Structure 1
């Protein structure tokens, strides 16, 4: 087994838990296998266990009525230790590689810990994580429920990055938020297999695909407010049905418009709304592309906007998206962004949440200068996070 684990939603979904049914009390069988937790959380645990080297030791903190522990025994060559006085919801016999312990003890030789505690308040999670570190744990922690409550969100955000790497793996886990905390000294590393999960997640067309209808939308009001920056070759990143993309034509200094999205269905709607390309003042093109690898040459854009897109990008991919936008912008050109502020608009497709400090940090990390970034309450749709960022002009060398 490799020390690098590639996370693939398709491979996770193929993990069959049928062989573990014998260890679950009959009254709980349906919930364990057929409902969302079985399809999401438990299959991820089984997948992770299956990718660990033979002889690896896993510690389960004892939540979820022992279901976590049973799922982890999916790989018979690993040893699963659960901290509990009683293995609830199990039959009279258990998997041979499942062991119960009464306390943490020494954890120096454990590879994986599952932190899934009843209550999910973030306080107990912090206590257990600290205790595990004191017990010598230097592996990977799977944290369940990182988006389930403000307490869990604060716990996740508060984990120090000096000794831990954080990876949000909700796309492969449970809707309530699944995260991996990876000790810098751990030999294990993780990556996603590809980006095609975005195609599955974003296979929809947003409402009211009409430029005229969208003239009442805050997106257009924001565009007008920052019209001084809209000029030349203008790119709309994550354009969906293209209504706002087409509205760029109204700005007199715009000379070319390109809308980019991964969603083929939405782009078909956009091209239909556009109609005959020759009927427009400027060239308008819609391109299907992954926004982490934009199909444009360096420094070709005079303006880039991205409206209600970044919240759909998993945090581990956000730097790549912003770096691509920085790459295609000309020096001195501007990037306009507007997204929901933090958790303002609940949506199962929203996977990243930003406030002013976190958004400015992301942009500065890519090299942008901050022109403006604010918790935007100016429009009829409140609780937006809006910013304008500039690609610096390199100083002249005399």
Structure 2
């Protein structure tokens, strides 16, 4: 579940820093995290609920799809949705295409998604908003809303807090990527301002194999005519 965007920092723009960082760790990321949903029953339940609500034959987007493991899990559901994975990292997109031909993969940015207006019936953005600069959250949510049909649902997840952690080494690779922790009320308010209604909120602690952070999942629905 990799980020599809990045914060702007001194020197190299944040989006390019995040792209290069995830390109550097793509293979290791797949080896370590490619089966992560096996140990995340609550996350599976929420993703499954979103897919079920989207309906049979739906088109579901995985925004910040990494090597495609979540997209593949969604594609394997009984509802058999069409799945489109989008990621900023060309290396991640290449892994998705190689390993999961049952899904489609596109290279793209959360601020400029490679998708038509209303193309998706539902979308997940799992730990991808955390690479956005504070001023980028609102336009990213507006862009996601653009790609969802009226009534389409969005599931977002993020680490809870108010800090920014910069990582310069990741599994032996040199990287430069910021992880923005977010407050659930702030994200919920940003979703409402972008034209979404909140349908469910889940806050949980880490599973044993995860980093020791508290996490939030918000399930939202596109509501037309209610922009703040």
TM class by smaller structure: 0.7 to 0.9
Alignment of 1:1-398 (within 5 A): 171-172=9-10, 195-203=15-23, 204-205=25-26, 207-209=29-31, 213-218=35-40, 221-230=42-51, 231=54, 232-274=58-100, 277=101, 280=102, 284-342=103-161, 346-348=165-167, 349-377=177-205, 379-380=207-208, 381=210, 383-393=214-224
How many matched pairs? 201
Could you tell me whether the CA contact under 8 Å between 1:208 and 1:214 is conserved in 2? no
Distance 2:181 2:20 in 1: 20
Distance 1:292 1:253 in 2: 29
Distance 1:294 1:357 in 2: 25
Larger Rg: 1
What displacement does 1:217 show? 3.8
What displacement does 1:240 show? 1.1
SS of aligned partner of 1:171? coil
Could you tell me whether the CA contact under 8 Å between 2:195 and 2:224 is conserved in 1? no
Distance 1:291 1:363 in 2: 15
Change (3 A) 1:375 1:194: closer
Write the deviation string for residues 101-127 of structure 1: whole angstroms up to 9, x where unpaired. Answer: xxxxxxxxxxxxxxxxxxxxxxxxxxx
SS of aligned partner of 2:178? coil
More RCO (CA 8 Å, sep 6+): 2
Change (3 A) 1:347 1:273: farther
What displacement does 1:212 show? 7.1
Change (3 A) 1:389 1:379: farther
Change (3 A) 1:314 1:225: same
Q: TM-score, normalised by structure 1?
A: 0.45
What is the aligned-residue RMSD (CA, Å)? 3.0
Write the deviation string for residues 112-161 of structure 1: whole angstroms up to 9, x where unpaired. Answer: xxxxxxxxxxxxxxxxxxxxxxxxxxxxxxxxxxxxxxxxxxxxxxxxxx
Distance 2:163 2:39 in 1: 17
Could you tell me whether the CA contact under 8 Å between 1:210 and 1:273 is conserved in 2? no
Q: Which runs of 5+ in 1 are unaligned?
A: 1-168, 174-191
What displacement does 1:347 show? 5.0
What displacement does 1:253 show? 2.1
What displacement does 1:290 show? 1.7
Distance 2:135 2:164 in 1: 21
Distance 2:33 2:82 in 1: 17
What displacement does 1:270 show? 1.4
Change (3 A) 1:292 1:345: closer
Write the deviation string for residues 202-243 of structure 1: whole angstroms up to 9, x where unpaired. Answer: 43326244897233243x641333422213100000111111
More strand by share: 2
